[in-house]
Amino acid sequence: MLELQHLKKYYTVGENTTKALDDVSIAFRKQEFVAILGPSGSGKTTMLNMIGGLDRYDSGNLIIEGKSTDTFKDSDWDAYRNNSVGFIFQSYNIIGHLSIIDNVEMGMTLSGVSTVVKKQKAEEALIRVGLKDHMHKRPNQLSGGQMQRVAIARAIANDPEILLADEPTGALDSETSDEIMQLIQELSRERLVIMVTHNPELAHRYADRIIEFADGKIQNDSNPYNGHDEEASFKLKHTKMSYLTALKLSFKNIMTKKGRTFLTVFASSIGIISIAIVLALSNGFQKQIDKTQSDTMASMPITISTVASDTSGAQSALSASKGFSKHHYVEADTSQAEKAQHINQLDNNYLKYVKNISQKDAQNIAITYGTGMNLIKENDGKWGTVKFSNVNPDSQTMDTMGMMSSVTGVGGSVYPIDRNGKQSFLKKNYKVLAGSYPTKKTDIVLIADRDNKVNVSALKNLGIKAKANQKFDYDELVGTSVKLIPNNRFYQKQINGHFLPNPDFNKMAHAQDTQTLKVVGILRVKGKNSDGLLANGIAYSDQLTKTVYNTNKDSDIVKAQAVSPINVITGATIDPATRAQLLTALGGDKTASTIQIYPSNFKKKDNVLKYLDQYNNGKQKSAKIIYTDMAGQVSKLTGGMMDAITYVLVAFAGISLVTSMIMIAIITYTSVLERTKEIGVLKALGARKKDITRVFDAETAILGLGSGIFGVAVAWLATFPINHILESLTDLTNVSQLNPVHAIVLVIISTVLTILGGHIPAKMAAKKDAAIALRSE
Ligand code: ADP
């Protein structure tokens, strides 16, 4: 059955070499009960470990059923231990965190026996060793003798040909020892049993053959055997522990030390908690910023004015030469502002281009023309002219005397109308104080600020006699109307060729082609997002200016002014530039003074900008159109800052994650030390190195997953008090928001990192020598 040929095993510690086995040759029968006697340190256990394949011999050969083992690979030895050998130890080596059945089944679990067969065989084995009534107890509820019976059941469950026992009764009282010996003797009827003992009395009473050992050599053999086995075709069934078994084993182990596991999970989750909270906060802040941006900034229009500032030019001016001039003269120069000044040609062509912006990207586009209006109003029974002017500082209009004058932001604003004709802009940003929203192009509204203030000049422009701080009831203003007179009726050609306003206002007011502009409502800003969108004062639709243009473009005064070298009203000589301005004001030229584009939302703004940039492609500098995107400048700043802060905080939190990883590694290492015995037992049962690694990897995976989930859960719970505090401090609601994707990624990171951290100790565990592991206490 088993044959040792010149087997040697030397241990060298420092200078000393111990000859644990010194050229041992012996053969065993297929069925016999062999007792090995000898003093402590004589090499008995060493020989048992060689036979059991727990340790490797230095030289010689071990023949199993006629097959030499000198070509055995690790996996062959693992399979041999699992299939052919059963071990019984002095200290039972029952795995405490597993049930009795699980302990007995472990060898079969490793060799992949099906659950049903496994259970049946394990129960048979337990009945065989007399534990029928104790099968479902926990190992720590058993006596020493019962524990040893479990160990014996485990050793025979897989029905091995060889049973190896190392002082199986060493820890038992004499009565129990007798019972165990009887059991082993009974088992030896079916197989080869080799038992190490230093109790000669027991050996003589039960064993068939007694071998005496001393100094690594056989001194005496009571029943020698010289037979040789034929080379048998003996097959080994290789072992493999499934990941599920590894997880189950580790989970059960973890469950036996709940307190410590909780502390470990808690401590190592701190990294995850801090990262999760940082992410939740930055996520929330970003959302807040985005929301504010799309709320506030989407309502900030992209503005294109006739006069723009070309910042690219200003920048190159900054990088002026650092040295000093060596010239002996001074040079006339324009100011930086002038250099940066860029005149946008907002002609018909460009207006058409702008109107082609996708409706999805920009709902509202407001175009302000330089066109002036001829307005008159009746006051105390007397008619007089009034004036509107554009909010745009560079726009010019006619005053009562028909003189050109520059106006600064006190007149009318143009509000945008949706391109599908609906009135969403005013409804979204302004609420009605009195009257209603405008519905017709001849409807005018008054825009009031938060304090219900309306610009006094705007009121005066409407022909209302207003003084600063004067208070008006709403109905004093709502319903106020002015008359809009076409050029041809307003201006009369004089004999000298000049034009003058018709003095018969009354007649003009009631003429057929006169339109009535009526103040239909007083509107007030809805919230801070609408502040400053329209200047407080008069607002009217851009349809109105368009109508005025269409009425006046072919009027007599326009035609006359277009060809005249003088101002046709005053008679003053003018240059071509002034004439162009005059023509615009008279309605002869449709050049826009300002275009305001209101993107549908913050993201759509990019499309609009891209579209506007496209226009400039390949154009000369002077033909380019420069726009102002206030919202973009603000958001660029906040977005970048938030990112930077998040990176820094995540980096800090990452340090704590690494710390927890190191901690998990230490804890795994401690666990490895603690479970050394278990590693030995698993190896004795045929577990491969890989399986041992798997067990510890499974343990760290459980811990990592646990701390990941725990950390994310705590971080999520923490968002509630954090939000509460932030709300009371800053007014911002629901700032901290844990993104579910972040949560899942963090759990994965935690699991992967802890497996990595625990993998080195797990490898160390796998490398542990089975024989040494079993010797450890
Ligand atoms: P026994 O079982 O007869 O008490 P052992 O087989 O345990 O004896 O040990 C035989 C000798 O080998 C002893 O001197 C022991 O110290 C030595 N020995 C056993 N294992 C090792 C080891 N791993 N390293 C060094 N020496 C060892």
**16 within ligand 1 shell (Cβ under 6 A):** no
Q: Is 139 in the pocket of ligand 1 (CB under 6 A)?
A: no
Region 252-259: what's the mean pLDDT? 86
Assess contact for 205 and 12: CB atoms under 8 A. no
261 CB near ligand 1 (under 6 Å) = no
Nearest ligand 1 atom, CA 166: 2
Residue spans per domain, the chain? 2-238, 255-293+641-775, 361-605
Q: Tell me the pairing of strands 32-37 and 192-196.
A: parallel
Using CA of residue 99, residue 100, residue 105, residue 106, what is the dihedral sign?
Answer: positive
Cβ–ligand 1 contact at 262 (below 6 Å) = no
pLDDT digits (tens, 9 = 90+) for 179-222: 999 999 999 999 999 999 988 999 999 999 999 999 999 999 99
- Ligand 1 pocket check: which of 11, 164, 217, 218 to mutate, most ligand atoms within 8 Å of Cβ? 11
CB of 18 closer than 6 angstroms to any ligand 1 atom: yes
* Centre of ligand 1 from the C-alpha of residue 43, in Å: 6
In angstroms, what is the span from residue 21 Cα to ligand 1's centroid? Answer: 9
599-to-361, 418, 445, 533 alpha-carbon distances in Å: 6, 11, 23, 14
Distance 7 CA to ligand 1 centre (A): 15
Q: Could you give the CA distance from residue 294 to residue 605 in angstroms, rounded to a whole number?
A: 10
Query: Does ligand 1 lie within 6 Å of residue 41's CB atom?
Result: yes
d(CA 391, CA 27): 114
At 633 the three-state DSSP class reads: helix
C-alpha closest to that of 150 among 133, 125, 171, 120? 125
How many other CB atoms are there within 10 angstroms of residue 777's CB atom? 5
Ligand 1 pocket member 435 (CB < 6 A):
no
Cα of first residue to Cα of last residue in the chain, in angstroms, is: 33
Q: Report the nearest-CA residue for atom 22 of ligand 1.
A: 11
Stretch among 34-43, 705-714, 721-730 having the lowest mean pLDDT: 721-730
Q: Using an 8 Å Cβ cutoff, are 399 and 387 in contact?
A: yes
pLDDT recorded at residue 85: 94
Residue nearest to atom 5 of ligand 1 (CA): 43
Q: Which atom of ligand 1 is nearest to the CA of 49?
A: 6
When mean pLDDT is compared over 131-145, 276-290, 331-345, the highest value belongs to 131-145
Decide whether any atom of ligand 1 lies within 6 Å of the 48 Cβ. no
Query: What integer is the mean pLDDT of 704-727?
Result: 92
Please work out whether the CB of residue 197 comes within 6 Å of at least one atom of ligand 1: no
Kindly give the pairing relationship between strand 192-196 and strand 162-166.
Answer: parallel
Evaluate whether 86 touches 162 at the Cβ level (below 8 Å): yes
- Is pLDDT at 313 greater than 60 in this prediction? no
> What is the pLDDT averaged over residues 262-275?
87
Q: How far apart are CA 21 and CA 480, in angstroms?
A: 120
Tell how far the Cα of 775 is from the centroid of ligand 1, in angstroms. Answer: 10
Binning pLDDT at 50, 70 and 90, where does residue 224 land?
Answer: very high
774 Cβ inside 6 Å of ligand 1: no
Q: Does the C-beta of 483 come closer than 6 Å to ligand 1?
A: no
Say yes or no to pLDDT of 314 above 60: no
- Contacts of 349 by beta carbon, 8 Å cutoff, 6+ apart: none
Rg of the chain over all Cα atoms, to the nearest angstrom: 49
Q: Are 407 and 373 in contact (CB under 8 A)?
A: no
* The length of the chain, given as a count of residues: 777
In this structure, are residues 629 and 298 in contact, taking their beta carbons and an 8 Å threshold? no
Q: pLDDT tens digits for 458-486? A: 787 777 878 888 899 998 889 888 888 88
* pLDDT tens for each residue of 556-596: 888 888 888 888 888 888 888 788 878 888 887 777 778 88
* pLDDT at position 152 over 90: yes
Q: Domain 2-238: give its CATH code.
A: 3.40.50.300
Separation between Cα atoms, residue 70 and residue 63, nearest integer Å: 9
Cβ of 420 closer than 6 Å to ligand 1, yes or no, is no
Of 208, 505, 269, residue with least CA distance to 379? 505
pLDDT at 279 over 80: yes
Give 407's pLDDT tier (boundaries 50, 70, 90): very low
Distance from the CA of 20 to the center of ligand 1, in angstroms? 6
Distance 51 CA to ligand 1 centre (A): 15
Q: Around Cβ 757, how many Cβ atoms within 10 Å? A: 25
What average pLDDT does the chain have?
83
Q: Which of 8, 17, 18 to mutate to test the pocket of ligand 1 (most atoms within 8 A of CB)?
A: 18
Cα(210) to centroid(ligand 1), Å = 21
Residue with CA closest to ligand 1 atom 6: 43
The residue nearest atom 16 of ligand 1, judged by CA position, is 41
| Integer Cα distance of 559 and 603 in angstroms | 46
The answer, yes or no, to whether any atom of ligand 1 lies below 6 A from the CB of 90, is no
Q: Does pTM top 0.85 for this prediction?
A: no
Angle at 547 between CA 544 and CA 553, to 5 degrees: 135
Asked if residue 11 has pLDDT above 50, the reply is yes
Tell me the C-alpha distance between 557 and 490, whole Å: 10
Dihedral in degrees, nearest 10, Cα atoms 385, 389, 393, 398: -40
What pLDDT digit, counting tens, does each position of 93-137 carry?
998 888 999 999 998 988 888 889 999 999 999 999 999 888 888
Q: Which of 20, 344, 582, 17 is nearest to 9 (CA)?
A: 20
CB of residue 43 inside a 6 A radius of ligand 1: yes
Mutate to test the pocket of ligand 1, among 46, 89, 164, 213 (most ligand atoms within 8 A of CB): 46
Distance 156 CA to ligand 1 centre (A): 27
Strand partners, 357: none
Contact 42 CB / ligand 1 (< 6 Å): yes
Alpha carbon 449 to its chain's center: 43
Report d(CA 164, CA 151) in Å as an integer: 12
Task: Say how many Å lie between the CA of residue 28 and the centre of ligand 1.
Answer: 23
* 39 touches ligand 1 (CB under 6 Å): no
